Every structure is written in structure tokens, then in C-alpha cells.
Amino acid sequence: MSALATPHAAPLLRESFIELPARERARSLLDAGSFRELLGPFDRIESPWLPLQGVVCQADDGCVIARGTIDGEPAVVAAIESAFQGGSIGEVSGSKIAAALELALRDCERGKIVRPVVLFETGGVRLQEANLGLAVIAEIQAAIVALRRHVPVVGVIAGMVGCFGGMSLAAALCSYLVMTRQGRLGMNGPEVIEQEAGIDELDASDRRRVWQLIGGEQRVASSLADQLVDDDAQAVRAAVQSAFGQGVPAAHRSEQVDTFLQRLARIDPASVTPASMREAFSEQFAHSQPRKEQA
């Protein structure tokens, strides 16, 4: 029996969450012994598009769906495996996430609450499956918006890949976001910005500047994510449990239109820095308008 198979047994030493592959990440978030994988490697639903382009498939397409319980409540975890194609979203991997969220929604609509967790570790759309990657990301987003009316949708960005592209929008739709210092969250990766806008806009090799811009510590300090945790499987698990304990927020971040337009209006684009924007985006302002803006 490997240590990975029993991650909750009296952990005297801290166990890195980042170093766990997707399957073990999902297992570590679920109550001990409750992990049950759906559409696992033996089901062999692989990408129909990669072989046509000479790319070797993986039997789970880089996405693990697991059912189990969190704090005794029914749950589903969708964990993206960064080791396969950089966690990119193809037709199969993305459809697995969308389908899991849609089934959780179906159960919730029938009065049977299922706690959904998404472990984001992705550069976004898999370019070899371009338009289908984009299409399934739209479906994942639709499912999150519908599902979070019933139950919090909790996202985790642990690193080291981070969360980018269309999936960064999906992360932003989550009720609660848990990040480590090693996690990064942005729409366009630093290399993409340097390529599209030039090195004067952002030098992607300036790691310090990049972490200050989109790293977990900055995202939590500026209220664009909710909980900063150490790279520790127990800490991530506790943060996810605590997020569900908080229930559905009165207004999700992405619903707070007036609040964020006001924040942007206070920003001077010419002089704003990661440090100065923390103040403008701090929770004080967020709670000055606690009303639910959704119709």
C-alpha cells in the first residue's frame, strides 16, 4: 500500500498537494475511503482528434472525475492533470468536467445536493482541438453558473501550471477559489502577453514581476480569490471543507457589476501597480454593497 492511498491517516509530516497527480489530488480532498473514479482509464474514452495529428492519447484524456463525500456530504471532484498536454482542455477532458457538473446540477434540481470541486491546472483550450475546446469551456461555464445557485462551486488552483485562458473565466465563476502561493490565475499567460503586446508590456522571463501580478498571494490579497493555503494536502482539504461550510454567497464575485465598475473607475491605468490595486479592490469596498445584484 503506497502512502498515497491513505493520505488522511495521521499525517505527521506535511504532504505536498502540488506534487500529487490529479487522481491523488481528488482522492485527498474526499473523505477517506470514499473515492470512486468515474470514466477512469479503463473506460478508455480518449481524444478522437489527437491521433489524427500524430499526438499520443492518454486513457483518461488528462481529467479525473471522482465521486465521494466531503464532510460526509455527497461530492464530485473534477481534477485536471497538468502532466498531460499541459492540462489543456480538449473535447473529452472538457466534456468530462461539463458532464460531471451537469449531473450534479440535475441532482441538485431534484433536491439532492452534490458538492462540486474543480481542480484547475490548465493553460486553457487544447489547440489541436481548438473550436471544440472552446465549445466545451462555454458548456462548463454554463453549468457552473446554473449549479452555484444550489450549492457553492469550489475551485482550487494549486500550481504549478496555474489556470489560464477560457478556464480562468470558469475559475472566476466559482463561488470560492482556493489558491496556493505557487498557483497563478490569469486570462492570458505571461508568454502570450509578451508575444501579443511586446516585451515592454510584460517581460515573461521576469518571474518576480509575474508572481506579483497573478500569483495566489496577490489574487487573495486583492479579493480575486478567497483563501490562500500552504502547499499541504491537509490545508487544501480543510480550505475546501470550510468553503462549503460558508454556503452559497449572497452575491457571487462575477455578479457584482456595479462594485467592480466603481473599482475600475477609481484606478488610474497610468500609475496602477499590483500593490496599489490591492487597496482599491479590498473587501471593504466589496462589502459596502452587499446586495445581490442578480435579477
Determine which residue in the list 20, 26, 117, 132 makes contact with another protein, applying CB under 8 A.
132
- Measured from the CB atom, the residue of 113 and 224 that comes closer to another protein is 224
- Measured from the CB atom, the residue of 250 and 257 that comes closer to another protein is 257
Q: What is the dihedral of CA 22, 23, 24, 26, to 10 degrees?
A: 80
Identify the three-state secondary structure at position 246. helix
H-only helix segments in the chain: 22-29, 91-109, 130-147, 166-173, 190-197, 207-214, 216-221, 233-246, 257-266, 274-280, 283-286
List the one residue out of 80, 77, 105, 99 whose CA is nearest residue 240: 77
- Cα angle at 153 between 152 and 158, to 5 degrees? 130
From residue 65, alpha-carbon distances to 35, 41, 76, 104, 261 in Å are 10, 11, 7, 12, 37
Residue 101 touching another protein (CB under 8 A): no
State which of positions 251-270 bind another protein (CB under 8 A). Answer: 252-255, 257-258, 260-261, 264, 267, 269
The least CB distance from residue 135 to another protein, in Å, is 6
State which of positions 36-95 bind another protein (CB under 8 A). Answer: 36, 38-39, 43, 45, 47-49, 52-53, 65, 67, 91-92, 95
Of 10-18, 25-33, 120-128, 229-237, the window that binds another protein (rule: CB under 8 A) is: 120-128
C-alpha torsion sign, points 49, 53, 58, 63 = negative
- Measured from the CB atom, the residue of 195 and 234 that comes closer to another protein is 195
- Measured from the CB atom, the residue of 29 and 185 that comes closer to another protein is 185
Give the list of residues 6+ apart from residue 113 with CB closer than 8 angstroms, or none.
73, 74, 107, 150, 151
Beta-bridge partners for 65:
38, 78
Which grid coordinates belong to 202?
A: 510584460
Whole-number Å distance between alpha carbons of 209 and 195 = 17
The least CB distance from residue 82 to another protein, in Å, is 18
- Measured from the CB atom, the residue of 13 and 295 that comes closer to another protein is 295
Of 3-11, 16-24, 242-250, 274-282, the window that binds another protein (rule: CB under 8 A) is: 274-282
- x/- site string to another protein, residues 1 to 30, per CB under 8 A? ------------------------------
Residue 128 touching another protein (CB under 8 A): yes
Determine which residue in the list 99, 147, 229, 243 makes contact with another protein, applying CB under 8 A.
99
Residue 173 touching another protein (CB under 8 A): yes
The least CB distance from residue 94 to another protein, in Å, is 8
Of 1-9, 21-29, 34-42, 153-161, the window that binds another protein (rule: CB under 8 A) is: 34-42
Per this entry, what is the length of the chain?
295
